[in-house]
Structure 1
Amino acid sequence: MLIVADENIPLLEAFFGDIGEIRRVSGRTMSPEDVRDADVLLVRSVTRVNCALLEGSNVRFVGTTTIGTDHIDLDWLAARGIRFSAAPGCNANSVVEYVLAVLSLYAERCVLSDWSRLTVGIVGVGNVGAELADKLLRLGFSVKLCDPPRAESEPEATDTFVSLDEALACDVVSLHTPLTRDSAHSTFHMIGEHELAALTSEQLLINAGRGEVIDGAALCERLDQAGAPLVALDVWEQEPRINPELVDKVWLATPHIAGYSLEGKVHGTEMIYQALSRFLGLPTRKQAGQFLPEPALSKVSFTSAADEHAAIRIALRACYDPRQDDARLRKAMRVPADERGNAFDRLRRDYPVRRECSSLKVQLKGTSKSLQDSFRAIGFKLKI
């Protein structure tokens, strides 16, 4: 059995080596010739899987180690009897921790001693949005949820969801919708000129969902106007050839890596391994945990003298500080125009190991129950 896989999927040999022969190829430039004699195709979000790629191939199973499926022609696969599996929720916690890190930086910029004073509007309440809401509520934030498809299909939850305009009135707006174009609640350019005009300089807009949810041209124009909001973008229109002018104008710019924690990546591989094993009728004997290495930083300690909010900020940034990725992306955009796409892809391909908060043990000596609860809510391991 031949398994053709994106070369950037982690632990391919560990999970799939005893199932078949593995051929690694570039996900961005994957061609019909690469997959013609494959039985199994494993991709990430950078590969368009459709008739143009697979017509005439031997592929019987397609797996994407990502949560999104807008790069997959699901109808075409179904019509050809090709089994498909995605990894919904695999990196949800990684994206949530990215947003928490951005919120921490924003609270510091606003000179807020208590970050939970910020109101947060979450647009898109799927795996990521729901987990973000749960953690923020446990941390004491006021949260408003906007998800029109869910509001429509869950009439019993009318008090749960608010309109987009209400979500856009919060101090922070965080976007976590899939990209849809031909549906009753299309998200393509959902945040356009009208929505951007309503945002003020007292607000932060975060997009760690899909780049095309925001109208990039309208955003560029809005950021040149008075009273523009701060913007943190992890996803962009026309990746990997993103607009360097927009990179210059946003407050925080990262190269589509919010979900790039090691745990998130490995969990995505594990989920597709399980799906392929079920398809082939094989036992699933491997789990992500057995392949995770010891983290570079394993423990931090706080005493009773620690300020609660400072302690949380320190621990969060010990795991991840978005400013490092921001600096790398801004530097990458300084190369000649025809090299920027490759530079963007290299940042993702060569991304340094980033561990989630669960990899860090936090030792607390004589600290308050409130601080203990906050660390637990974020996902740190505690030693009291």
Structure 2
Amino acid sequence: MKIIIDNKIPYIKEAVQKIADEVVYIPGKDFTPELVRDADALIVRTRTHCNRDLLEGSRVKFIATATIGFDHIDTEYCKHAGIEWTNAPGCNSASVAQYIQSSLLVWKSCRNKKLNELTIGIIGVGNVGSKVAKVARNFGMRVLLNDLPREEKEGTEQFVSLNKIAEECDIITFHVPLYKEGKYKTFHLADESFFRSLKQGPVIINTSRGEVIDTDALLKALESRTISDAIIDVWEHEPEINRELLEKVFIGTPHIAGYSADGKANATRMSLDAICKFFQIEGDYNINAPAPASPIIHAKNHEEAILQMYNPVEDSTRLKNQPELFETLRGDYPLRREETAYLIKY
């Protein structure tokens, strides 16, 4: 079996050798029809568009994307061509929650806010949104949840409308997949009309997909002070991001909110497990994130410990200083560890 793998996917080389006869590693943007023609499976990230142009005439039977999102996979074409695919739902949900946890602590310190006096609106309450809700409740925040698909299945008891979030929330964070059309369309979910409906001058956080927010509308909202701040990890037109928006956001990072070693190990494991299941291969491998360089953290309190584990300011400063290096900063990002990897001593 031949597998072609995005060369930025970590912790995979030793494990994949146990299940494949031939393995090729290439940058995600360099997948071509010629390269994939004789491959049996692909393991990709969001940078590889798996569509008719890439796949037609190939012998590819299975695609694993080591990401939560899968809008880079043409699912209709794959269905037509008999190509199975899988993503890695929830693989980095704890990492994204860690990013938001640390970002909120930085923001409240700089803006002299008390989180336990604020209301947060979480739009999209899946693997990530649920963990962010837990983080917010641990801070003592009032939490409002919006998730239309879940509300239709589970009832309205625990969910509120977008209008209520727009009217009452001091912080609004997006955790939805990207759907460009249909009943649950999320493309430009936050558009001019959304920003006009906001009543509290909230902070806007986006770690989902760049296209969920209309960049021009977000810029206008920042300039008019309709919103007070923005924390943005995902951007329209990556890696050619809007430089003006980057200058204006409170924190701006190169799509790395989910880039913990733990999340990456989860995604790699899930991708290989799916390939083994599809091809009916016995997979005998272990994939674990490496131990942190300094596994013991000494801190006065938990908030200080959280920021020792991860502080987004350094990542934001790097991107703001060199926005043209977006792809490099993302591709060469030094994977952080999540809280479970540390022993905290107070």
State the Cα distance separating 1:138 from its structure 2 match. Answer: 4.0
Q: Conserved in 2, the CA contact under 8 Å of 1:15 and 1:270?
A: no
State the Cα distance separating 1:252 from its structure 2 match. Answer: 1.0
More RCO (CA 8 Å, sep 6+): 2
**Count of aligned pairs:** 344
Q: Conserved in 2, the CA contact under 8 Å of 1:25 and 1:34?
A: no
Query: Gaps (5+ residues) in structure 2?
Result: none
Confirm or deny that 1:270 pairs with 2:284: no
Matched position secondary structure for 1:195: helix
Q: Conserved in 1, the CA contact under 8 Å of 2:219 and 2:245?
A: yes
Residues 36-63 of structure 1: CA deviation (Å, up to 9, x unaligned)? 1111111001111011100011111100
State the Cα distance separating 1:198 from its structure 2 match. Answer: 3.5
Query: Gaps (5+ residues) in structure 1?
Result: 334-339, 365-384
Following the alignment from structure 2 to structure 1, what is the Cα–Cα distance between the partners of residues 140 and 225?
32
Residues 317-359 of structure 1: CA deviation (Å, up to 9, x unaligned)? 11111111101111122xxxxxx3xx21111111013111111
User: 1:182 and 1:29, CA in 2 relative to 1: closer, same or farther beyond 3 A?
Assistant: same
Residues 103-151 of structure 1: CA deviation (Å, up to 9, x unaligned)? 1112112324x53332110001111001211333244321100011211
User: 1:358 and 1:300, CA in 2 relative to 1: closer, same or farther beyond 3 A?
Assistant: same
Show the 5 A alignment for 1:3-82.
3-20=3-20, 21-82=22-83
Following the alignment from structure 2 to structure 1, what is the Cα–Cα distance between the partners of residues 130 and 154?
15
Find the counterpart in structure 2 of residue 165 from structure 1.
163
Show the 5 A alignment for 1:179-258.
179-199=178-198, 202-258=201-257
Find the counterpart in structure 2 of residue 336 from structure 1.
none
State the AA in 1 paired with 2:340.
S
State the AA in 1 paired with 2:243.
P
User: 1:227 and 1:136, CA in 2 relative to 1: closer, same or farther beyond 3 A?
Assistant: closer
Confirm or deny that 1:352 pairs with 2:340: no
User: 1:29 and 1:201, CA in 2 relative to 1: closer, same or farther beyond 3 A?
Assistant: farther
TM-score relative to the length of structure 1? 0.86
Matched position secondary structure for 2:223: coil
Matched position secondary structure for 2:28: coil
Following the alignment from structure 1 to structure 2, what is the Cα–Cα distance between the partners of residues 260 and 282?
29
Residues 192-251 of structure 1: CA deviation (Å, up to 9, x unaligned)? 112223446742110000101110011122222245420010000001111111111111
Following the alignment from structure 2 to structure 1, what is the Cα–Cα distance between the partners of residues 4 and 39?
6
Following the alignment from structure 1 to structure 2, what is the Cα–Cα distance between the partners of residues 138 and 232?
20
Matched position secondary structure for 2:193: helix
Find the counterpart in structure 2 of residue 376 from structure 1.
none
Matched position secondary structure for 1:362: strand
**What is the root-mean-square deviation of aligned Cα atoms in Å?**
1.6
Show the 5 A alignment for 1:331-342.
331-333=321-323, 340=324
Find the counterpart in structure 2 of residue 317 from structure 1.
307
Following the alignment from structure 2 to structure 1, what is the Cα–Cα distance between the partners of residues 200 and 165?
16
Following the alignment from structure 1 to structure 2, what is the Cα–Cα distance between the partners of residues 183 and 297?
48
State the Cα distance separating 1:272 from its structure 2 match. Answer: 0.6
Q: Conserved in 1, the CA contact under 8 Å of 2:309 and 2:339?
A: yes
State the AA in 2 paired with 1:99.
I
TM-score relative to the length of structure 2? 0.95
Between the aligned residues of both structures, percent identity stands at 39
Following the alignment from structure 2 to structure 1, what is the Cα–Cα distance between the partners of residues 227 and 331?
33
Q: Conserved in 2, the CA contact under 8 Å of 1:220 and 1:246?
A: yes
Moved over 3 A (4+): 198-202
Find the counterpart in structure 1 of residue 295 from structure 2.
298
Following the alignment from structure 1 to structure 2, what is the Cα–Cα distance between the partners of residues 134 and 249?
29
Matched position secondary structure for 1:28: helix
State the AA in 2 paired with 1:258.
A
Following the alignment from structure 1 to structure 2, what is the Cα–Cα distance between the partners of residues 90 and 226?
35
Residues 274-310 of structure 1: CA deviation (Å, up to 9, x unaligned)? 1111112223333333xx22211211245xxx4xxxx
